[in-house]
Amino acid sequence: MTIKAEPYGRGIVTPFQRDNKGDFANVSGTDVLNSDVGELLGIIGPTQDSPGELLWRCDLGSRLHTLKHRKLHSELVRATAEQMTAGVVREYEPRVRVGPSTVTVDDDNNTMQIAFSYKPIGTSDARTDTVRFTVEE
């Protein structure tokens, strides 16, 4: 029996799904990167006033939640959101290279979306992920 090496590893897909055996679905290859990047951005990271969401790894996670209750149309808030998104992926996901991003604000739904591109190392497969969060005012 030959075991095929997975260059990016294997992991549970997020958002969680079930496979045909009733277990959590697994992904491999570049699909695991999509799942990991999304999960990384969804983890509440540490701030000056509180530790991160993961008590066993307090430094891990995004600080996008700190932008809630801010004026979304502010150029500073948009630039901060872009920097926070790219920064956390660059710091904690060494298997990808982060590219340009754009921030859009939807006033009707009170949301901000950050679309950023990234490329798995060793491929020409550029991907775009979108982070969307609701701002409570």
Q: Per the domain annotation, does 62 fall within a domain?
A: yes
Q: Which domain holds residue 82?
A: 10-134
Mean pLDDT of the chain: 82
- Taking only Cα atoms into account, the Rg of the chain, rounded to an integer number of angstroms, comes to 17
d(CA 119, CA 22): 32
Q: What is the model's pTM?
A: 0.77
d(CA 46, CA 13): 24
Phi, psi of 10 (to 5 degrees): -130, 155
Q: Per the domain annotation, does 2 fall within a domain?
A: no
Q: How many domains does the chain have?
A: 1
Q: Per the domain annotation, does 35 fall within a domain?
A: yes
Structure token digits, residue 8: 């990016």
Domain of 49, CATH number, reads 3.10.450.40
Question: Is residue 126 pLDDT above 80, yes or no?
Answer: no
Q: Are 60 and 52 in contact (CB under 8 A)?
A: yes
Q: Per the domain annotation, does 5 fall within a domain?
A: no
**What is the per-residue pLDDT across 54-103, written as a single tens digit (0 to 9) for each?**
889 888 998 888 887 777 778 888 888 888 888 999 999 898 888 888 88
Query: Please, which residues have CB within 8 angstroms of residue 85's CB and are 6 or more apart in sequence?
Result: 41, 62, 64, 101, 114, 116, 131
Query: Please, which residues have CB within 8 angstroms of residue 67's CB and are 6 or more apart in sequence?
Result: 77, 80, 81, 84, 112, 133, 135
Q: Per the domain annotation, does 95 fall within a domain?
A: yes
d(CA 77, CA 54): 25
Write down the pLDDT at residue 78: 84
